[in-house]
Amino acid sequence: MPFLKDGSGSPSNSERDFDAFEKLVEDLRTALGSSSGLDSDDVDPMNIQQLMEKYISNSSEWESYALGDTSRAYTRNLIDEGNGKSNLLILVWSPQKGSAIHDHANAHCVMKILKGKLQETLYSWPDQEKIREGQTSPPQVTRQTVYGENQVTYMSDKLGLHRISNPDPDDFAISLHLYTPP
């Protein structure tokens, strides 16, 4: 179920102008079509990333979906359920807060920064053999990258674990995430 304007009582989508954000949502939905998501043979993950890269962030187009809460590290705001095989969300990151280290449960994630900067810290997977032997094997940092407004990145479990955080001490950061499968 999309949470964008449905056009009820107004001209059809083909008869009216979308703003660029609405067009991005439509383009992503079209690109995923009736597929089962980014794992499908008929979906090119680079196409999804290019669609996100093409969109130039304009806060007036998405700010009504960006609901923040400083008592939480971040909030997740659903924009579109796509074809039932993906979720498009806006995440609002509180100042100097971030996610826990996490995997993506075999999902793919394409993330675009809409406002501010986000730091991504990638980690290696724990050594399963050590764990089986009763030893500790904490994740090790493999890379840290700071992404700025309009930059896009991709994440999947094949790349390891990661953590996203907002390094800004005073302001929220906002990002757009496409997860498939949801």
Binding site membership for Fe cation: which residues?
102, 104, 162
DSSP 100: P
| 163 inside domain | yes
| 172 inside domain | yes
| 7 inside domain | no
Instruction: Read off the tokens for 167.
Output: 């390094």
The domain in which residue 144 lies consists of: 20-180
Binding site membership: which residues?
102, 104, 162
Tens of pLDDT along 156-168? 899 999 999 999 9
Backbone angles phi, psi at 130, to 5 degrees: -60, -40
| 109 inside domain | yes
Total domains in the fold of the chain: 1
Distance of CA 7 to the CA centre of its chain: 26
Coil, strand or helix: which one is 49? helix
Contact 103, 157 (CB under 8 A): yes
Contact 90, 175 (CB under 8 A): yes
Domain CATH for 54:
2.60.120.10
pLDDT at residue 84 is higher than 60: yes
| 70 inside domain | yes
| 15 inside domain | no
Contact 126, 139 (CB under 8 A): yes
Confidence category of residue 31, pLDDT binned at 50, 70, 90: confident
- Residue 93 CB-density burial (10 A; 0-12 exposed, 13-18 middle, 19+ buried): buried
| 11 inside domain | no
Tens of pLDDT along 95-150? 999 999 999 988 889 999 999 999 999 999 999 999 999 999 999 999 999 999 99
51-68 average pLDDT score = 97
Q: Which residues pair with 118 in a beta bridge?
A: 147
| 156 inside domain | yes
Residues 22 and 142: their CA atoms lie apart, in Å, by 36
